[in-house]
Amino acid sequence: MKLGIVYHMPIWRDADGRLREAEGSFARYVDSLAPWFEGISLCAPSPEAPPDAGSPIRAANVTLAPLPAFDGPAQFFPKLPQMLPRLRSWVKGIDVLHCRIPSPAAPFAFAYARASRKPAFTLVVGDLRALLPTVPYRGLKKLVWRAYTEFEEAAIQWMAGRALTFANGDALAAKHSRPGRQVHETKTTTIRATDIAKRTDTCLGRPVRMLTVSRIDPRKGLRILPSVLSRLAGLGIDATLDIVGPVVGRPGEDERAAILADAAVRRVGARLTLRGALPLDSLLPMYRDFDLFVLPTLPGEGIPRVLLEAMASGVPVVTTRVSGIPSLITHETNGLLVGQATAAAIADALAHLVRDAPLRQRLIAQGYRTARDLTLESQAARMMAVVSRELGVPMRSVPITTSA
């Protein structure tokens, strides 16, 4: 059986012939599904000028069906006359379709699969409607983005109503479930069993080194972080913060500038470092250099995969009680949750961790247990057991579990 996956993450072939992906999380996801199929074909944009670095797709049975390059819907839809023939031809050559959604090409590929009577399953990884209040656009741009959001919402409901569907976290699963059509909850991850660390405590030296891994984007809540640093200094805690992640478009550039300007005004600029994007293979070992992980994210995600990455690395987590995050993190068990992404709430939670060694150690130990339960290998096995059972798709490997 050949699995076809359509998504908007750019994929390219390097000089050595290997397929690469810039961020790395999607590459690992593809690798986790590869043992279950004779082959996997990726239908994804291929950049005209590939980056110098990226994370490799290691499975030997994965091929690329390139689409014209696009960064998002604003670039995708003007190229629709080029996209549709490629999508139609690609769907003809696969046996099973898998859509990660929301993604601009997914509804069209799904329509072609239905017309060809080919089985399909989807994975919902984000909530565009929940992001609308934080979108920085004004005027016509805001109206256009709202219209696109409603198109994607309708498309996801259409697909979820007609195909086996998984969702990242309980909030998205509940949102897209309907009577007679249950959406299966999953938790997307990048963690292999070999990635789980062994240290038992952090915050043993000064400064306390804090880490945030996130796209630089107004929807991520990062603008409060200079104020968090300032408040920690006021509490007598010597701390630094590194932010790792790419800048997303013009709104991201504005957000980056606002973060740096606020850090300068609050006189914490020397404590804040914006590192830019790093491939996952470089990022994962870096987690272990840090004492605490902070993610003040806003509604609109399923479960950010970086939370499991931090847990697997033995870094206690402080994040917000939004979207599907509470289905992964239990407050004061494997992380700390705050109700609102405010500087005061985040700073108080971080200070609590710095001062309470038994709490830190408990969160680290339970974080390891959570990460072990949710490795790539185990998640792929659970998903493919459901796919095999509900779609009647024969698998190359034998599922290790039959639970969803």
DSSP per position, 210-224: EEEE--B-GGGTGGG
Do domains 2-189+375-391 and 193-373 share one topology? The answer is yes
pLDDT score recorded for residue 397: 64
Range from 119-123, 174-178, 351-355 carrying the lowest mean pLDDT: 174-178
Q: What three-state secondary structure class fits 257?
A: helix
Q: pLDDT above 90 covers what percent of the chain? A: 84
**Order of strands, sheet of 208-213, starting from the edge strand that comes earlier in the sequence:** 272-276, 239-244, 208-213, 292-295, 317-320, 336-338
C-alpha distances in Å from residue 306, one per residue of 180, 188, 287, 328, 369: 33, 10, 10, 12, 16
The pLDDT of residue 132 is: 86
φ/ψ of residue 217, rounded to 5: -160, 135
The pLDDT, as a whole number, for residue 248 is 85
The domain defined by 2-189+375-391 folds into: Rossmann fold (3.40.50)
d(C-alpha 37, C-alpha 395), whole Å: 6
Encode pLDDT of 185-196 as tens digits: 999 899 999 999
Contacts 24+ apart (CB under 8 A), 352-358: 353/203, 353/292, 353/316, 353/318, 354/203, 354/208, 354/237, 354/239, 354/292, 357/201, 357/203
Classify the phi-psi angles of 117: left when phi > 0, otherwise alpha if psi is within -120 to 50, otherwise beta.
left
Q: Where are the domains of the chain?
A: 2-189+375-391, 193-373
CATH architecture of 193-373: 3-Layer(aba) Sandwich (3.40)
pLDDT at 403 over 60: no
> Residue 400 — pLDDT band, cuts 50, 70, 90?
very low
- Enter the tokens of residue 217: 């984007």
Q: What's the CA gap between 309 and 19, in Å, rounded?
A: 23
Residue 357 scores a pLDDT above 70: yes
Q: Model's pTM, two decimal places?
A: 0.91
